[in-house]
Amino acid sequence: MPELTDRHKVLIQALISRGPLSEKDFHAVFNGVTGKHPANHQQLFNDYLLKINKELSHVQCELRGCRSQNDGRVFYGFVNNVADDQSELGTKYSVPQIAFYKCIVEAIVQDSSAQGCISDIDALNIQLENQMLNGAVSESQDNSLSVPAAFRNFSISQKEKTLEQLVRDKWLCSNPDGKIGLGVRSFLDLRSWFRSNDIPSCEVCNEAAVKAELCPNDDCNVRIHQYCLIKRFSQKKAERVCPSCGRQWRCVLPKVEEIEEEDAQDVQSQSQPLPRPKRMKLRSGAATNADTLLSTSSQGAPNGPDFRRTTRSSARLRS
Ligand SMILES: [Zn+2]
Ligand SMILES: [Zn+2]
């Protein structure tokens, strides 16, 4: 098997030590390493990543691209596909801190309005004991159901400190309005976990729709990322209706020049979504350019907690 060259290794190192990197920054690294810019040498860029991922797959890692659902920007990162929470977060975070992170992720993905964030007050009010009793945290060493003191005593100030740290490390993000959303690192790392836990996906790109627009029809469960909606509705002759129920869908489109140039390519690939049976989501098709490339070896979810998600339909069933 041909070995990776130093150029390949520099790209991996850049993402390990400095990642996740925005597409722009990672492209700049690539340009520095190869003397060629991915914008003009897409095939070369793809070949590099495919080769790297082929090698990394032996150690169950990969370089992956994904969109931050907060702003639709593409990021690249180094992802360990066998990593459980302990190895990913565990080197830096304590067990209660990891449990706290899981609770926040759970609260965000369970939100039936798909806002992709919770208020900082809701975050600070999270009770780790509940997480423990829901079985979402691995059982304590002595196998008892009692809540460890570290969980009971996890104070508000510890939570505040943990929040800051998680935001700094890009596991979470802090929105301008003070709300807490998922950070780029979570979007990168939890991608397979979103799938295996049936987080509702975007009707256009099939990625998990953590932060998304809901179909204006209350009886329809369609969710679409705002950036996917803009792309779709920006196309000439595109009908501004829900692709599933046909209800008119209002969407404020930015002026053409505001649509990022970097998106040009996936506009192309998404302009003709694959036909698919109603209600059946393709799990691997129609991904964005970056995603398709970088998910070739993607498999195996991180050991996420067993989230019980709430969809609008299930919420309705209960009410
Ligand atoms: Zn989408
Ligand atoms: Zn609809």
Strand, helix or coil for residue 212: coil
Hey, what amino acid is at 4?
Answer: L
| Cβ atoms within 10 Å of 8's Cβ, excluding its own | 19
For ligand 2, a single-atom ion, the residues with CB < 5 A are 215, 217, 220, 222, 242, 244-245
Task: Say how far apart CA 237 and CA 289 lie, in whole Å.
Answer: 23
Q: Tens digit of pLDDT per residue, the chain (319 long)?
A: 568 999 999 999 999 999 899 999 999 999 999 999 999 999 999 999 999 999 999 999 999 999 999 999 999 999 988 766 555 777 789 989 999 999 999 999 999 999 999 999 999 999 887 766 555 444 444 444 567 788 888 999 999 999 999 999 999 999 989 899 999 999 999 988 898 888 999 999 999 999 999 999 999 999 999 999 999 988 878 889 999 999 999 877 766 555 444 444 443 333 333 343 333 333 333 334 444 443 433 333 344 444 444 445 444 444 3
Distance linking the first and last C-alpha atoms of the chain: 58
pLDDT in the model for residue 69: 95
pLDDT in the model for residue 288: 40
pLDDT in the model for residue 250: 85
Hey, what amino acid is at 245?
Answer: C
Task: Say how far apart CA 242 and CA 216 lie, in whole Å.
Answer: 8
Q: Is the peptide bond before 20 cis (omega within 30 degrees of 0)?
A: yes
pLDDT in the model for residue 61: 92
pLDDT in the model for residue 132: 60
Task: Say how far apart CA 181 and CA 175 lie, in whole Å.
Answer: 7
Q: What is the CA(290)–ligand 1 centre distance, in A?
A: 13
pLDDT in the model for residue 266: 43
pLDDT in the model for residue 220: 96
Q: What is the CA(144)–ligand 2 centre distance, in A?
A: 46
DSSP label of 278: T
Task: Say how far apart CA 182 and CA 166 lie, in whole Å.
Answer: 10
Contacts of 218 (CB under 8 A, 6+ apart): 312
- How many residues does this entry show for the chain? 319
Task: Say how far apart CA 123 and CA 104 lie, in whole Å.
Answer: 6
Q: What is the CA(65)–ligand 1 centre distance, in A?
A: 14
- Reported as half-sphere exposure (CB side, CA atoms, 13 A), residue 242 has a value of 19
**pLDDT tens profile 231-289:** 998 887 888 999 999 999 987 776 655 544 444 444 333 333 334 333 333 333 333 44
pLDDT in the model for residue 133: 58
Which of 264, 209, 217, 266 shows the shortest CA–CA distance to 243?
217
Contacts of 89 (CB under 8 A, 6+ apart): 97, 98, 101, 171
Contacts of 18 (CB under 8 A, 6+ apart): none
Q: In Å, how far are 219, 243, 279, 318 from 313, measured between CA atoms?
A: 8, 18, 13, 9
In 1-143, the DSSP E strands lie at 21-22, 61-67, 74-80, 117-118
pLDDT in the model for residue 107: 94
Name the strand (E) or helix (H) holding 307: none
Q: What is the CA(308)–ligand 2 centre distance, in A?
A: 24
DSSP label of 91: T
Give Rg (Cα) of the chain. 20
Is residue 138 packed enough to be buried (19+ CB in 10 Å), middle (13-18) or exposed (0-12)? middle
pTM: 0.76
DSSP label of 235: S
Task: Say how far apart CA 319 and CA 313 lie, in whole Å.
Answer: 10
Strand, helix or coil for residue 25: helix
Q: Which ligand is located closest to the Cα atom of residue 279?
A: 2
- Reported as half-sphere exposure (CB side, CA atoms, 13 A), residue 15 has a value of 28
Average pLDDT, whole number, for the chain? 79
Q: What is the CA(94)–ligand 1 centre distance, in A?
A: 34
Q: What is the CA(273)–ligand 1 centre distance, in A?
A: 11
